[in-house]
Structure 1
Amino acid sequence: MKQAIAQYNEAERLARQEKFREARPLLEAAAKSGYGRAWYALGNWSIHGIGCRKNYRQAFECLRKAVRYGAGREALFDLAICYETGKGTSKNVRQAARCYIESMQAGDPEAISEVARIHYWGIGVKPDHSKARRFYLRAARRGDLESAYLLAEMYLTGEGGTTNRRSAIDWLKRAVDSDDAKLAWDAKERLKQISAVTM
């Protein structure tokens, strides 16, 4: 495994220099030795067409092997996207939900908002606004400003719990600072609407 790790590290160094054709054989060798992070990198490269043509079927298989060889935190989230969108495999929202949840449990912070979303809309799981609200709160506390906006809306409508106008305003004020111009604008407009109603 030491050799596989060394090959992976060298491939990573070459990739930073955009020498993808030189890096790919090293990744493949590390992957064949059972190094999960190498399988994840190959899957990711296949999704984005890095050093190769985009190939979702190949990406899906690499991601599955990444999970098998211990790179679940990285690979489960991308596998969830494959299952949800049907890219590289048959569409399967239950499997997508399972992968999002396992990704979150493995420590991927990005998965928390996705777990909230699937519970809100009932994607692969039973709709549960109470769970959605709890997960949006977790994601928002970690700095996910889209989750902050969606949480604010739930506080305003009372979905998943009681209404809480003060908390809604607090989360909307945070969402205003988003780098996403549309999200920031939506949050500002929502704050104006709330102010107009209370005047």
Structure 2
Amino acid sequence: MKRLLFMLMAVMSLTASAQNADRLYDEGKKLYDAKNYTEAFPKLKAAAEKGHKKAQYRLGRCYEKGRGTAENEKLAFQWYEKSAAQGYAKAQYELGDCYKDGDGVAKDRKKAVELFKKAAAQEYAEAEFALGKAYLKGKGITADQAQAKKWLKRAVSNEKGGSEILTELRKEAADGDEDAKAILKLLGK
């Protein structure tokens, strides 16, 4: 009987903690979206420390961009890593970007591609685009025009973010970016 009571109390405690993390995240996100980073940061940090994957991702953004705290690539990397380990696509993409550029960690293009693949498998447009570019340039993976075209096409066709990627590509091409021009040509855009 004592064991059953103990287990029941433990489940109730975990449920309350999760609800508290959700509440902290929601409050922090609202402040973050309003660009009130100084007040958002402690709420996001508290939720992240409780294991909230979206709060961990957003805390990584705070450290990466210096929003509500000092910029710190290593801490950004660490929080992205925690969120990515829970399967959060945005964090997997950002962690991959850290590996690609060597931000907060040693540069490792193969690890970057691995993470882009995980996030792209969840239909995250920016990861699909990054994966397509990796295939196109053969960075971190063997160059493959067919795979490049497949992933780039998926990225610009993605309902969540595809039109923004295409708009940015067109802007970069108009500004003379040769990579953007090549991608648009490959896609027939």
Query: TM-score, length-normalised on structure 1?
Result: 0.70
- In the TM superposition, what is the alpha-carbon distance from 1:188 to its structure 2 partner? 9.2
Q: 2: distance between equivalents of 1:55 and 1:194?
A: 39
1:168 maps to what in 2?
148
User: What SS does the aligned partner of 2:114 have?
Assistant: helix
Which string of whole-angstrom CA distances, capped at 9 and with x for unpartnered residues, describes residues 39-87 of structure 1? 22221222233xxxx532221111122133x352121111111111111
Q: Which moved more, 1:170-179 or 1:180-189?
A: 180-189
User: What SS does the aligned partner of 1:142 have?
Assistant: coil
What letter is aligned with 1:41?
D
Query: TM-score, length-normalised on structure 2?
Result: 0.73
1:184 maps to what in 2?
166
Q: Which moved more, 1:116-125 or 1:71-80?
A: 71-80
1:61 maps to what in 2?
42
Q: 1: distance between equivalents of 2:30 and 2:128?
A: 31
Distance 1:79 1:155, change over 3 A: same
Distance 1:171 1:123, change over 3 A: same
Which string of whole-angstrom CA distances, capped at 9 and with x for unpartnered residues, describes residues 96-142 of structure 1? 00000101112322211111111111111111111111111122121
Distance 1:164 1:72, change over 3 A: same
User: What SS does the aligned partner of 2:95 have?
Assistant: helix
2:26 aligned with 1:41, yes or no? yes
Q: 2: distance between equivalents of 1:122 and 1:71?
A: 25
2:98 aligned with 1:118, yes or no? yes
Q: 2: distance between equivalents of 1:181 and 1:46?
A: 27
Residue identity over aligned pairs, in percent, reads: 32
- Count how many residue pairs are aligned between Structure 1 and Structure 2: 162
Structure 2: 5+ residue runs without aligned partners?
1-8, 170-179
Which string of whole-angstrom CA distances, capped at 9 and with x for unpartnered residues, describes residues 147-177 of structure 1? 2222122112211122122211221232241
2:177 maps to what in 1?
none
Give the number of the structure whose alpha-carbon radius of gyration is greater.
Answer: 1
What letter is aligned with 1:48?
D
